[in-house]
Amino acid sequence: MIIHVVRPGDSIFGISQKHGVATDVIINANRLPNPESLVVGQAIVIPGDFFTYTVRRGDSIYTIARNFGISPRKLLAANPELLNPNQLRVGQEIIIPLAPQRGKPIFVNGYVFPSVNPEVLSGSLPYLTFLSIFSYQVRADGGLKAIDDARPIAQARAAGVAPLMVITNLEEGSGFDSDLAHEILNSVEAQNKLIENVLGVIDGNDYYGLDVDFEYIYPEDRQNYVDFISRVVNRLRPMGYPVSVALAPKNSADQKGLLYEAHDYAALGALVDHVIIMTYEWGYLRGPARAVAPINEVRKVLNYATSVIDSEKILMGMPNYGYDWTLPFVRGSAARILTNYGAVELAEKVGAHIRYDNISQAPFFNYYSADGKRHEVWFDDARSIKARLELVGIYDLGGVSYWTLNSFFAPNWLVLDSMYRVKKVL
């Protein structure tokens, strides 16, 4: 697999000729929505038994070929644009005609809403370990608001994917409710009732395990939350049900803010089977324009997380969406949510060129709408996905978790499949 970034004058036919891969293969693998209208800066995955190598100081065609166990002739045949193979440039990318060895097996989780389109979900299921169906909303007395989850559970199990029940402190018609969490976390009776209700759903609905996603917990409830998760684990684990928790992206133990303070990485990480760290939303719906998951910020979180949690328990959050902001940013305004395909289609529609920010490792572009307002769009492509997936190996993480898989983005799975093997528990 290699990633081709569209240049001025590129066509799908020309890209096919350059890489020796049929146009239909490229179009179908990427599920390109408009292959005849490519966008400058668009990233396209070229599937096949090859990958790119960046030339280093002292490299030659002979040494590169020797290091990869192929003949210089085969290497040159894969790189016909090398008019003078004796003059390689440091930083130049060349194609190595050899499938790289995929890395370690990893856990892959994906969140979906119960309403997910079955055809959309079917595209992602082959690459998943777990499917987390979002969400059962807890009530102050330990009750649960049911969801219509029968279809995605059955679809997941038919594909050998383990469905996880998700419970949240979301308030109906609103967001995460700190007061609701406070009431539950200060009542052992409510917690015990909640746990028994959770077990009833898991047993009755054929779930594999539980994911707890309590957010915006009051700082004074920090220890209460640890105690609650301990009760959950002690009740569910003997019955064979794994437990995971979703945590805010902290870069230090004492990070301030309602989102962060009650999430005790060390204590919670020691209790549960998996920790899903929500490493996204630096660029968020009601905030200023920036990358959703800038790799420099993600690294800060992982540096801290791996210092206090067993790295093999950590599933790094991966966003599957982008945002379109109106500039200048006005506090209280909201961006428009886009799929990754939708972002490229928008760039084609408005005639924008996609650029790539090397600090955040993310694609973006600007355009003017019909009303004359300037916009900025940040999203994900094969390059940004590959850059963040490399962190799984660098930090020896347990895997990744996607928010959400209600839309399908083929390049993500092409990249992941070229780098890792997916663990299955069913």
93 is catalytic: no
CA atoms within 13 A on the CB side of 425: 19
Reported residue count of the chain is: 426
Which residues are paired to 367 by β-bridges?
Answer: 375
| 168/270 Cα distance (integer angstroms) | 21
| 388/390 Cα distance (integer angstroms) | 5
| 87/94 Cα distance (integer angstroms) | 13
Catalytic choice (81, 183, 196, 215): 215
| 179/221 Cα distance (integer angstroms) | 11
- The sign of the dihedral angle between the CA atoms of 94, 99, 101, 104 is positive
Could you give the angle at the alpha carbon of 173 between the alpha carbons of 170 and 176, nearest 5°?
25
**Of 184, 122, 149, residue with least CA distance to 405:** 122
Question: Which residue is it, tokens 């210089």?
Answer: 72
Do 121 and 101 contact (CB within 8 A), yes or no? no
Positions marked active-site: 215
